Every structure is written in C-alpha cells, then in structure tokens.
Structure 1
C-alpha cells in the first residue's frame, strides 16, 4: 500500500512539474510571439530613427525578456531556441538603429559646426544653400571682407582641417560674388579688398596645411 502511495505521489509530482513547465512554455512562447510581431511591425513601418523611439523598443524588449527568463530552466528546448532567435533579431534591430542615430547626430553636429563658423565669419548675414552671397553688395563688400579676414586671422591657430575646408568654400563663394559686383565697387574699396585678399592668402597657405598635418598626426596616435 505504501509502495502504491509513493508511486502515486511521484506521479503527482511529475504531473505538477510537467504542468508548470507546460504553463511556463506557453507563457514564454506567447510573450516571444508578441515581441516578434512587434519587431515585424517596426520593420515594415517607415523607420523613425530617434533615441526616443529606440528607448521604447528597448524597454519593450527588456521587459519581455525579463518575464520570459524568470522561468529559466523550466523552458523547453524549442522555447529556448525561440528566445535566442528573438535576441538575435533584437541585436540586428539595435545595430540598425544605433547606426542611423549616430549618422543623424553626425549630420546635426556638422550643421551646427557650419552655422557657428558662418556666423563668426559673416555675422547676421544668412548664407543659403545656393551659396550665391547675394547679400554682398558694392556698399558692404569691404566690411564683409574685413570681418571675414579679421576673424580668420584671430582664430587661425584654433581651426581644424574641417574648419579650413569650410572657410575655403566660403571664401571662394565670396570671391565669386565680388567679381560679379566689381564694376560697382569704389576704387578705394577695391584696393582695400585686394590687400585683405593677400592677407587671407598668406594665412591660408600656412595654416591650412598645418591643420591637415596635425589631424593626420592625431589619427596615428
């Protein structure tokens, strides 16, 4: 009789364990399926690569995985495989978002860098994407050149290679505009601008190559 009771107890225990394991599997499988569907909806939608959106994805993933892994050893091999697949999908999504977010930050930083440099060189004058410099006229060409060259002279030791590249583009655009209005320039202004151009050329000839050399040395370290 006792033998029968022992066997019955063992069978009951196994049944309970099996039932618990089965329930853990069902819960984990459901959680992972829902997370997989969430990932699929992200992939088919127009991506919005922002840190806020990524935080939402990461939070949903972390919460789901935390609930699933609480079951730990109770999960079946099939569910564990599904868990690993879900983790791989998440890591792929993570790489995609981090790459695009990083690129967006770099573009924004480049935009800010250009804006700050242009403001320093030209003050309140706004430079459009067409780089036409229509704000430069025969009446203000001299002060525009003077501010540009004076600012470059004052900051020549602080500019990076990227700064000098942008300065070169801006200077060439300014020169193009100056050639367009030269017939309207006063002779005295034209002469003073010519002297400023010589001053800029001498600074640029020395400092721009040095900035490039310095950047290469930094890259080697």
Structure 2
C-alpha cells in the first residue's frame, strides 16, 4: 500500500513538473512571438514618425527583448527558441541601421527646406526649383527679400550654404527671363538689376571667405 502511494505521488510530481515545463515553454514562445511582432510593426512605420518617438521605440524593444530572453533562460537549453530570438535581434539591428540613415537624410532635407524658406517669406521651394508663382507684380519684392536676407546673414553662411543660395538665385533668374516676356516694366527691371549688382560681389567675397575659414579649420 505504501509503495502504491509513493508511486502515485511520484506520478503526480512528475506530471506537475511536466505541466510546469510546458507552461514555461508556452510562455517563452509567446514572449518571443510578441517580440517578433513588435519588431515587424515598427519596421513599417514612417521615418518621420519614428524619429519623433525613437526613445519609446528603443525602450519597448529592450523591454520585450529582456522578457523573451528571461523566459527562454528559465527553460534551460532551447536552441530553437534561441535561434528565433537571435533572428529577431538581427532583424531589428538591420532596421535600426536603415532608420538611422533615413533619419539623417530626412533631417538634412528638412534643414535645406527651412533654409530655403528664409529667402522666400516662408514659401516652400522644392528640389525642382519651381518659381512659377513669381510674376511681374511680385518679382521685385522677391528679389529684394532674397538679396536682403543674404546680406543680413552673410557672415553666418557656410560654403555649402552659399552654394545652395547660388542654386536658388540662378533658378530665380531663369524665372525672370520668362517674366520679362510677360509684361515686366523697364522700371522694375532696373530695380532688379541694381539688386543683382549688390548680390554678385557679396556672393563671391563671402563664399570665398567661408571656404577659407573651412580650410583653416580643417588644418587645425
């Protein structure tokens, strides 16, 4: 009778351990799946939105990763789940590297766009440098603001800034050639000519100065 009781107890204990192991395995599988789903979900979010919430993304990633690791470690050796975890980690590392490159490009693009806006009263100027909105009635004020802005901030511009300024200036000049055929008065044309005479030497001198300063800094 005593032997029978011991056998039943052994079976019960064994079943309890097995049940516990199965429960731990299920928990580990669930945590790894949740970790994988999280990485999949953030990898399709736009760079702009990710950039605004990157700290939260990293915190959630770390939390879910540790949770998955901890539950796997409680099982002891489990090569299959470890391999799945490693794959998810690798996928996140690739996603993070791509995000950082895209975020830098986005920041540079936004910086360029904001820089251009300062010359045209907040108006967005795309990479196509489309100045169709400039006409015979506003072209003098557009040139005046452009040259005034460049003159006011000339000491703060880098060589790259001056290169960007030149691109905008040349695009505006191209638009002027069209506006001249659309009724630009000789009086307004003369005003623009005076502004252009003011801009040309200012651009040459300050771009050369900015380049010299950058070369001096590079030699330090």
**Cα separation, 1, equivalents of 2:29 and 2:112:** 51
1:108-119 aligned within 5 A = 108-119=106-117
Taking a change above 3 Å as real, the CA distance of residues 206 and 70 of structure 1, as seen in their structure-2 partners, is same
Q: Contact 2:25 / 2:75 at 8 angstroms: preserved in 1? A: no
1:177-216 aligned within 5 A = 177-183=175-181, 184-215=183-214
1:133 corresponds to which of 110, 126, 131: 131
For residue 118 of structure 1, give the secondary structure of its aligned residue in structure 2.
helix
Gaps of 5+ in 2: 1-6
1:49-60 aligned within 5 A = 49=46, 50-51=49-50, 55=56, 59=60
Which TM-score applies when normalising by structure 1? 0.67
Taking a change above 3 Å as real, the CA distance of residues 217 and 32 of structure 1, as seen in their structure-2 partners, is farther
After superposition, the CA RMSD in angstroms is 4.2
Which TM-score applies when normalising by structure 2? 0.68
**Cα separation, 2, equivalents of 1:60 and 1:129:** 36
Gaps of 5+ in 1: 1-7
Q: Contact 2:151 / 2:202 at 8 angstroms: preserved in 1? A: yes
**Where does residue 140 of structure 2 map in the other structure?**
142
**Cα separation, 2, equivalents of 1:60 and 1:140:** 53
For residue 45 of structure 2, give the secondary structure of its aligned residue in structure 1.
coil
Q: Contact 1:25 / 1:76 at 8 angstroms: preserved in 2? A: no
Deviation larger for 25-34 or 142-151? 25-34
Taking a change above 3 Å as real, the CA distance of residues 191 and 158 of structure 1, as seen in their structure-2 partners, is same
**Where does residue 26 of structure 1 map in the other structure?**
25
**Cα separation, 2, equivalents of 1:188 and 1:137:** 15
1:48-197 aligned within 5 A = 48-49=45-46, 50-51=49-50, 55=56, 59=60, 62-63=63-64, 65-66=66-67, 68-69=69-70, 72=73, 74-77=74-77, 79=78, 81-123=79-121, 125=123, 127=125, 130-183=128-181, 184-197=183-196
Shift of 1:131: 2.4
